[in-house]
Structure 1
């Protein structure tokens, strides 16, 4: 299966952002991609007050745009994420969807792990804006490939990906990873999630300086189940296009059956036993 990651630089101009993303998605489809992934907040990205004002329902402008484009091109599309304001409950969510080649929304994932940090250049309190999602999601692509969904800060929580990998062949992580953590953490985390779950890992991040106080690190990449980086974007907007070899995945999972070797175990005691302390 051929996949593509469309690395973009979004700001507060939704119309321009969607136009730029659309050009990359069309180019990806022209190059034979069956699945295209966009970054977190690809359609509109700004400070909390801008994001709050841009909140939309599940069937709002972002999903409508994605549905029309996926149906037009006949592709599976994961259009990053957007600020969802549900019709049936209070609060906002950082929401990612999977849209099938028929334009229907096949799955919705609400980001579980929210980014609260005081790192210089990445000061954020997502919990001031969003509610936590509480449901892991695996969806099925048109060709039957099973896709585990996540968003950005989720990448630091391996237990989510292990739960997904029990069912999924491919793991996807749209992101707007800050520049300051991208170089040291992003490639390592993506490769680790691929290795420990013996799954293809697709990480698609925003890149470059935005029109507010934030710089994203880019380096969108595809990792294989052995942890090898199959393709990586440059430090500018553009496409990563790559073929996934599922025979390779079956070989890795068959020769090194880490998923089959999982065992249940009791958690550590709240306080170590005396004899263990001095062992």
Structure 2
């Protein structure tokens, strides 16, 4: 099955971000992708943490959800909508949410980011918990490819990548593909991005696809990029360093089965 990770350098204007996302998704569809995944915060990288509050949506209603549904239907493609701000009961809080749309435009899965990023090195400081409420539930969904092959897909977002227990839960649930839409900072991405992605693939014997924000944004933030597709042996199949674009690759069910048969480490778990 052909898949695509969409790398963006999202700005502060929703309409501009949706236009770029649509262009890149169309490019992925023309390349034969059956599944395309947008990066974290694809719809907005605001000047302030609170800017995302103005875009918060309720389940089943909103400009961003309509965009994702319409695009999935028009392109006849599965689309994982990176993340968008979903409303909570509190007016000053949102969830950082991944929504999955099938080729009919139906929303078939929702995952609220569990682990919230906080980092300070003196020069940079981030704290997602200022306006985001954490989720608490791992989520998988099943995707049937045009070939008839069924893929179980585990959802995660960015900072989740540092918590292997989440991915082990996906492995226990039978995940074949792990998605990690992200907006890693340049600092942390340069240090840890690749090694973490490859580790999650190797230890869970699964494909990992990680679409990222990659470049210098209008708000001054510099994200690491390096969107990539990693196979279950830890090999990088495709990658893009910086700038908006499509990182395309192919999932091979026979390759996945062969790796799991050769090294059946998931059946050797003791703890």
TM-score > 0.5, shorter chain as reference:
yes
Where do 1:1-279 residues align within 5 Å? 1-46=1-46, 47-59=48-60, 60-86=62-88, 89-90=89-90, 91-120=93-122, 122-143=124-145, 144-166=150-172, 167-264=174-271
Contact 2:153 2:178 in 1 (8 A): yes
SS of the equivalent of 1:259 reads helix
Higher alpha-carbon deviation: 16-25 or 118-127: 118-127
TM-superposed deviation, 1:38:
0.6
TM-score, normalization by structure 1: 0.91
CA distance in 2, matches of 1:99, 1:64: 10
Contact 2:75 2:103 in 1 (8 A): yes
TM-superposed deviation, 1:181:
1.3
CA distance in 2, matches of 1:121, 1:24: 33
TM-superposed deviation, 1:121:
5.4
CA distance in 2, matches of 1:36, 1:261: 33
Measured against aligned partners, the alpha-carbon deviations of 1:227-279 in whole angstroms (never above 9, x if no partner) come to 00000013121111101111111111111111111123xxxxxxxxxxxxxxx
TM-superposed deviation, 1:104:
0.4
| Aligned residue number for residue 272 of structure 1 | none
CA distance in 1, matches of 2:185, 2:116: 14
RMSD across aligned positions (CA): 1.2
> Residues 121 and 63 from structure 1, CA distance in 2 versus in 1: closer, same or farther, beyond 3 angstroms?
farther
Decide which structure has the larger Cα Rg and report it.
1
Greater relative contact order (CA < 8 Å, ≥ 6 in sequence): 2
SS of the equivalent of 2:132 reads coil
Contact 2:119 2:127 in 1 (8 A): yes
Higher alpha-carbon deviation: 53-62 or 95-104: 53-62
Count matched residues: 262
SS of the equivalent of 1:58 reads coil
Contact 2:45 2:219 in 1 (8 A): no
CA distance in 1, matches of 2:16, 2:97: 21
| Aligned residue number for residue 269 of structure 1 | none
TM-superposed deviation, 1:122:
4.2
Contact 1:101 1:142 in 2 (8 A): no
SS of the equivalent of 1:84 reads strand
**Structure 1 unaligned regions, length at least 5:** 265-279
| Aligned residue number for residue 271 of structure 1 | none
CA distance in 1, matches of 2:18, 2:217: 15
SS of the equivalent of 1:187 reads helix
User: Which consecutive segments of 4 or more residues in structure 1 shift more than 2 A?
Assistant: 119-122
